[in-house]
Every structure is written in C-alpha cells, then in structure tokens.
C-alpha cells in the first residue's frame, strides 16, 4: 500500500508577526517555521497504518525551498521518501492552487490513500484535502478521528456537530482529512534523524499558477482592548450574571 501525507510549513506560534501589505500576508524574513500541527497527526496516522498493514509512506509539501525542513522532519519520524513541489508562489497560494500543485506531483505516484491535516494553523481554509480529492478523482472524508483498513475498503469515523460521530465506509483510493488529537504523536529520534539524511527527497517544479479563485484582501493584527463590567445585586443575582457573561459573552464555559 502506498500512503501519501500532505504537509504544510507554518509560522511558529511564538514568532513575532510582521505584516506585508503588498501581498496581504506576513513577512517571511526573520520568521521561524514548523510543521503544521494537524498535518503531524495525519503523518502519525499514516505511519501507524503502515505498521499494521505494511507499505510505503510518502510525504509531499508544496512551497518554496524552505519547506524541505518539514519534509526532513517527516523522514526522521519514519516516512520512507519525500517530494518537494517547488514554487515560490505557493507560499501565499489559495487552496485550489495548492491542491492543483499537489495533484500534479501525485498523479504519477498513484497513491492508495492520501492523508492531510484537517486545516492549516495559518489560513485555516480546510479545503486543500477536499479539492485534492476532486483533482485526483477519488472518494474523500473530512474531520476523521478514527481509521480502519480492511483489504481495499476504508472505514472512517467522522466528528460531527454537537458531540455526534458518524461511521462510513469508502473504497480505495481515497483522500481523508484528519482531526488533531486522533493519536499520540511520536517524535524524531537521533537514529531517525541520521537515517533521514539517506532517504530520497525529490524536487519537482510546480505547474504555472492559474488565476486564483480565492484572494485575501487584507490582514491585520488583532487589537488588544480591555473592558470592565461591574456586576451588582444579591450574591445569587451576581453569580447568575457572571455565569451568563462567561457563557454568552466570553464563551469560556
């Protein structure tokens, strides 16, 4: 079985964000980068499927040269080989452009199963996996929290609204987007890091960008504001007002 995992490199959460108005995004220079967390869970699930059923795990990432960092990390965690879809325009591409670039690199691979994280920590469109399935002409399932493989049939558990879940069965090949927390992540060992240096990392050129179907008009840093609200009344009335504010305004309970 050939399992492909799509990875994205995102800015780390402790990076001091600086905006670039010319591209309606952030300035890349000086930023620190890491593997998108939901994609890390997709990679772990692929490695577990391989351990149970055998096969090969191939990781792929679309973007400028810097994304090879997350590909090397994935190889160190246990992936067998990597593909870099090289294109500087992919750093700020919309979901359709990214999915098209990934599909161009995967058609010759003919994977049995493709996994992606549910969404990226930066843009959060949650569309690349779905659009990729359309480009590849495969079945797909989203928000997957459990995976069972039986011969050429995939059984997945999906998370729905209101605490509900849904089990579904689908044939291979398929694309699934994985929910964070589906498993316990492993980390690269020193042995894995050394082995990764000998594993294949192939670079292919991304196709020319088509007209974008989505466009970010502007970005802005959130404004920090403080507001004080005084509660009054009897202790019971004050407690009721506090619970209402925490539930309906602050939304923390």
CB atoms closer than 10 angstroms to residue 234: 8
Residue 237 within any structural domain of the chain: yes
pLDDT of 19 reads: 77
pLDDT of 128 reads: 93
pLDDT of 55 reads: 92
pLDDT of 229 reads: 81
If asked whether residues 229 and 177 sit together in one domain, one would say no
User: Tell me, what DSSP letter sits at residue 91?
Assistant: G
222 three-class SS: coil
If asked whether residues 85 and 192 sit together in one domain, one would say yes
d(CA 137, CA 127): 15
Q: Please give the tally of structural domains in the chain.
A: 2
pTM as predicted: 0.82
Cα separation values, 181 from 99, 123, 130, 134, 178, Å:
24, 20, 20, 26, 9
If asked whether residues 105 and 158 sit together in one domain, one would say yes
If asked whether residues 94 and 170 sit together in one domain, one would say yes
Which of 224, 3, 189 lies closest to 106, judged by CA?
3
Side-chain-side CA neighbours of residue 111 (13 Å) = 28
pLDDT of 180 reads: 92
pLDDT of 71 reads: 96
Residue 214 within any structural domain of the chain: no
Residue 41 within any structural domain of the chain: yes
- Phi/psi for 65 (5° steps) reads -60, -30
Beta bridge partners of 9: 35
Domain with 148 in it: what CATH number?
3.40.50.620
Residue 163 within any structural domain of the chain: yes
d(CA 206, CA 196): 24
If asked whether residues 200 and 143 sit together in one domain, one would say yes
Residue 247 within any structural domain of the chain: yes
pLDDT of 11 reads: 85
If asked whether residues 196 and 88 sit together in one domain, one would say yes
Polymer length of the chain = 253
d(CA 167, CA 104): 31
Residue 218 within any structural domain of the chain: no
231 three-class SS: coil
Reading the chain (253 residues) residue by residue, the pLDDT tens digits are 999 999 999 988 777 777 777 777 777 777 788 899 999 999 999 999 999 999 999 999 999 999 999 999 999 999 999 999 998 888 888 889 999 999 999 998 999 999 999 998 888 889 999 999 999 999 999 999 999 998 889 999 999 988 899 999 999 999 999 999 999 998 889 999 999 999 999 999 998 877 777 778 878 777 777 778 888 889 998 999 899 888 888 778 7
Which of 162, 89, 161, 100 lies closest to 127, judged by CA?
100
pLDDT of 102 reads: 95
pLDDT of 212 reads: 75
Which of 174, 98, 112 lies closest to 137, judged by CA?
174
- Phi/psi for 205 (5° steps) reads -85, 135
Residue 96 within any structural domain of the chain: yes
What is the per-residue DSSP string for 161-221?
Answer: GGG-EEEEEEESSEEEEEPTTSSPPP---HHHHHHHTTS-EEEEEPPPP---S-------P
Residue 220 within any structural domain of the chain: no
pLDDT of 231 reads: 87
Cα separation values, 212 from 10, 131, 140, Å:
21, 14, 23
pLDDT of 75 reads: 96
d(CA 77, CA 40): 10
d(CA 73, CA 64): 16
Stated as kind and residue range, the H or E segment containing 169 is strand 165-171
Instruction: Say if CB 114 and CB 60 are below 8 A apart.
Output: no
Residue with tokens 């042995």: 191
Beta bridge partners of 60: 6, 83
If asked whether residues 58 and 122 sit together in one domain, one would say yes
If asked whether residues 230 and 148 sit together in one domain, one would say no
pLDDT of 228 reads: 82
Q: Which domain holds residue 168?
A: 2-205
d(CA 123, CA 45): 23
If asked whether residues 158 and 239 sit together in one domain, one would say no
């Amino acid at each position: 079985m050939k399992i492909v995992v799509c990875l994205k490199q995102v800015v780390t959460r402790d990076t001091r964000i600086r905006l670039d108005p010319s591209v309606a995004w952030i300035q890349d220079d000086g930023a620190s980068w890491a593997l998108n967390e939901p994609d890390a869970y997709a990679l772990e699930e692929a490695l577990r499927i391989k351990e149970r059923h055998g096969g090969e795990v191939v990781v792929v990432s679309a973007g400028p040269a810097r994304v090879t960092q997350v590909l090397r990390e994935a190889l160190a965690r246990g992936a067998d080989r990597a593909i870099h879809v090289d294109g500087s325009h992919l750093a700020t591409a919309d979901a359709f452009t990214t999915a098209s670039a990934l599909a161009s690199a995967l058609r010759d691979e003919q994977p049995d199963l493709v996994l992606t994280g549910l969404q990226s920590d930066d843009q959060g469109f949650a569309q690349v996996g779905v659009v990729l399935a359309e480009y590849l002409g495969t079945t797909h399932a989203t928000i997957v929290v459990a995976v069972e493989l039986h011969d050429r049939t995939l059984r997945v558990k999906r998370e729905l609204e209101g605490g509900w879940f849904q089990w579904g069965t689908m044939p291979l090949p398929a694309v699934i987007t994985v929910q964070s927390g589906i498993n316990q992540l492993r980390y690269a060992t020193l042995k894995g890091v050394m082995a990764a240096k000998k594993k294949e990392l192939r670079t292919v050129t991304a196709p020319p960008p088509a007209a974008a179907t989505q466009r970010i008009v502007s970005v802005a840093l959130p404004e920090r504001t403080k507001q004080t609200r005084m509660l009054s009344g009897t202790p019971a009335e004050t407690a009721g007002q506090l619970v209402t504010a925490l539930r309906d305004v602050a939304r923390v309970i």
